[in-house]
């Protein structure tokens, strides 16, 4: 394939390319005993999850260019030098060096499968037997949430430093994919390599912010080429956000730039990322979990202003909506769950606020969140099913604003929605 030039300047620009990973055997390569380690609260039925995922995938294939992780990874592994670099790194990090030679001799297709679905351990010693661990390389149970291990920010790709060890290989694979010259053309910000950098004069010069640094793509939302929204919670630390500040300060062109930080609860599973409580729908519309975004609570919203290579100010502001308005982005919120507190809490749990835009005003959402869908319909979004789009019964070009519903009985059990399952690499600039 011709290398794709990464460029994502917003959350809602018309989608021209997106990375997906259809859930496979890795999702079922867990038991109730290992589900918690896999970051699941329940185990999934793979056949149902795949049927639901096919609705998302089917619409995207009709609408834009899609790239599957398995195909991209196989291209990397076809190159002997790139294979050596990636497999050596994975084996070192995951203490599997005894398997390196065997992995290097496998064909690319088989190796791609093992890298994602898991590599069974050799039980040929008493130590290995007593350890009672089936896998030498654990399955990547969460990889169908392609948003988390990397994020497109303008022409850059952020390779994320994952908060949980079970997901570290995801970021290593995405790094290899974006480094592959046959696949993508981009600049790279690798949070895993970050150590000592200056934020700029007047900032945190010389600070070592690598200790405790984590950042995941579900916490990074691109409003436009001047404004980022970033969540600070379970998966993204303040040190991870400081790293982004540093990178923003390196760009001294284009006037002031802003990072708007939203603190998130650190002990509630459904608030793992910012996109579980805030996503953009259109130029002037967003979907929110009201108690956290607009309610009276303990979680701060902090505006960081940068100009000419330095941090100009850091201050607490009322909320995301009012801060964006002052920055020239006026958003009318649509409430996840409607206007009932009970429904808001229930539907936020199942990713009701986690939408994904194909283009301004045309978004994906789970059909199960009926009160959220109704709230969107009341705000001018027509409701159509993914099935009807795939079957050709509905033409997206005939709608100004619509919400495309996908079934979601199994997929949400993994802890994410449509935005989590999509990693855009190209969007048209608004």
Distances (CA, A) of 87 to 100, 191, 280: 7, 20, 37
Q: Is 362 exposed, middle or buried (0-12, 13-18, 19+ CB in 10 A)?
A: buried
pLDDT given at position 255: 85
pLDDT given at position 129: 72
Query: What is the residue extent of each domain of the chain?
Result: 4-427
Strands (E), 125-219: 135-137, 150-153, 156-159, 184-185, 187-190
pLDDT given at position 41: 58
**Nearest 5°: phi and psi at 114?**
-65, -35
pLDDT given at position 309: 87
Task: Report CA torsion sign: 362, 363, 368, 374.
Answer: negative
Q: What does the pLDDT look like over 335-376, one tens digit per residue?
A: 999 989 999 999 999 999 999 999 999 999 999 999 999 999
Nearest residue to 246 (alpha-carbon basis) of 195, 317, 178: 195
Name the β-bridge partners of 68: 20
Q: What does the pLDDT look like over 204-242, one tens digit per residue?
A: 433 444 668 999 999 999 999 999 999 999 999 999 999
pLDDT given at position 422: 98
pLDDT given at position 160: 97
Multiple choice CATH, 4-427, 3.75.10.10, 2.40.240.10, 3.30.420.40, 3.30.590.20: 3.75.10.10
pLDDT along the chain (430 residues), means of 10: 94 98 88 57 81 98 97 98 98 95 97 96 77 86 96 97 93 98 96 62 45 93 97 95 90 85 86 96 98 94 94 97 97 95 93 97 97 97 98 96 95 90 97
Nearest residue to 273 (alpha-carbon basis) of 329, 332, 217: 217
pLDDT given at position 203: 42
Q: Is 204 exposed, middle or buried (0-12, 13-18, 19+ CB in 10 A)?
A: middle
pLDDT given at position 224: 96
N-terminal to C-terminal alpha carbon distance within the chain: 27
Distance, CA of 69 to CA of 63 (rounded, Å): 19
Distances (CA, A) of 41 to 258, 394, 410: 36, 36, 12
pLDDT given at position 205: 39
pTM recorded for the entire structure: 0.93
Give residues with Cβ within 8 angstroms of 153, minimum separation 6. 8, 189, 220, 222, 228
Place of tokens 């970050």: 194
């Amino acid at each position: 394939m011709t290398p794709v030039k990464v460029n994502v300047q917003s959350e809602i620009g018309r989608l021209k390319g997106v990375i997906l990973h259809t859930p496979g055997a890795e999702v079922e390569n867990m038991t109730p005993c290992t589900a918690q380690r896999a970051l699941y609260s329940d185990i999934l039925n793979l056949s149902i999850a795949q049927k639901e995922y096919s609705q998302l995938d089917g619409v995207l294939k009709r609408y834009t260019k899609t790239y599957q992780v398995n195909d991209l990874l196989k291209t990397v592994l076809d190159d002997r030098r790139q294979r050596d670099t990636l497999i050596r790194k994975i084996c070192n990090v995951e203490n599997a060096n005894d398997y390196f030679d065997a992995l290097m001799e496998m064909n690319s297709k088989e190796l791609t499968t093992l890298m994602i679905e898991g590599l069974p351990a050799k039980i040929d010693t008493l130590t290995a037997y007593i350890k009672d661990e089936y896998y030498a390389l654990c399955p990547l149970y969460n990889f169908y949430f392609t948003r988390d291990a990397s994020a497109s920010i303008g022409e850059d790709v952020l390779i994320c430093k994952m908060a949980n060890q079970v997901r570290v290989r995801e970021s290593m694979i995405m790094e290899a994919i974006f480094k592959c010259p046959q696949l993508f053309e981009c600049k790279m910000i690798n949070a895993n390599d970050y150590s000592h950098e200056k934020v700029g004069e007047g900032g945190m010069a010389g600070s070592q912010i690598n200790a405790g640094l984590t950042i995941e793509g579900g916490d990074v939302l691109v409003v436009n080429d001047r404004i980022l929204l970033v969540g600070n919670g379970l998966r993204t630390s303040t040190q991870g956000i400081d790293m982004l500040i540093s990178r923003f300060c390196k760009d001294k062109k284009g006037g002031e730039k802003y990072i708007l930080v939203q603190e998130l609860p650190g002990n509630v599973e459904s608030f793992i990322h910012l996109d579980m409580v805030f996503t953009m729908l259109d130029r002037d519309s967003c979907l929110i979990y009201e108690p956290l975004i607009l309610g009276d609570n303990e979680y701060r919203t902090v505006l960081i202003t940068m100009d000419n290579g330095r941090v100009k100010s850091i201050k607490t502001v009322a909320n995301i909506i009012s801060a964006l308005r002052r920055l020239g982005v006026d958003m009318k919120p649509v409430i996840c769950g409607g206007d009932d507190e009970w429904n808001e809490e229930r539907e936020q749990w199942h990713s009701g606020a986690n939408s994904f835009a194909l283009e301004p005003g045309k978004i994906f959402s789970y059909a199960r969140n009926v009160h959220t869908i109704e709230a969107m319909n009341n705000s001018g979004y027509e409701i159509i099913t993914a099935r009807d789009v795939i079957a050709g019964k509905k033409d997206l070009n005939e709608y100004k604003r619509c919400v495309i519903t996908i079934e979601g009985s199994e997929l949400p059990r993994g802890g994410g929605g449509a935005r989590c399952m999509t990693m855009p690499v190209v969007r048209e600039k608004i």
